[in-house]
Amino acid sequence: MNRVKYIKKRLNGKILDVGYYACTLHEEVLKSAGKENVYGIDTETKRETKHYKKGSAEERTLFPANEFDTILAGELIEHLKKPEKFLKEANRLLKKGGKIIITTPNKDSLMNKVFHNNEAPLHFSLFNTQTLTKILNKTGFEVEDFTYLPYTIESSEGSNNPWSFPIRQAISIILPKKFREELIVTARKK
């Protein structure tokens, strides 16, 4: 299973895609859920509408509390200096029992440890299963599922070494899951 399939299987209801602007994942979410059900917030939003707001994931948004069934944060949390603020806001925005889906580089990944792929200049907060579980629990979430995948070009848009993805995928097959490059978590608001 790849990242997009994993995410699409877990999306439901009214969806907020945080940091939607930077990659192709948002188009897949729109196709899957329908544009009437999808909202977005990003610092790069060019024109605000009912569905799209300009703003930071680390600040209070203009959306009302208990508004969304699902929040998606694809390759976002590692770019935040204060991820706890983001998760508290996500908790405020989700309906009771709503879920958050987060994809992020896996700090425990063998490839990341050897090649330091996750140590990019704009990666301020790196997580593994334990640290992500801890911060989610602290901000009112209960982890339902962790998945570990290899990176693909669609999850690493703008990579300096796209030629390496087939090699990384092949290596990933033989690695224990917890050492794969990408960590995906689904957590539910308590």
The pLDDT of residue 109: 85
Q: What is the pLDDT of residue 121?
A: 74
Position 81 scores a pLDDT of 95
Burial-class residue 130 by CB neighbours within 10 Å (0-12, 13-18, 19+): exposed
Show the low-confidence residues of the chain (pLDDT under 70): 1, 116-119, 151-164
Q: Please provide residue 93's backbone torsions phi and psi, each rounded to the nearest 5 degrees.
A: -80, -25
Domains of the chain: which residue ranges? Answer: 3-189
The secondary structure of residue 49, as a DSSP letter, is -
**Cβ-proximal residues to 41 (8 Å cutoff; 6+ apart), any chain:** 16, 17, 18, 19, 20, 52, 53, 54, 55, 57, 61, 63
Whether 91 and 189 have beta carbons less than 8 Å apart is answered as yes
Beta strands in the chain (DSSP E): 15-18, 38-42, 52-54, 68-74, 94-105, 141-149, 182-189
Task: Dump pLDDT digits (tens) for 152-165.
Answer: 655 555 555 666 67
Identify the three-state secondary structure at position 134.
Answer: helix
Domain 3-189 of CATH type 3.40.50.150: yes
The per-residue pLDDT for 37 is 97
Give the Cβ contact number of residue 109 at 10 Å. 25
- Tens-place pLDDT, residues 93-124: 999 999 999 999 899 888 777 776 666 778 88
Residue 178: per-residue pLDDT: 84
Distance of alpha carbon 135 from alpha carbon 152, whole angstroms: 26
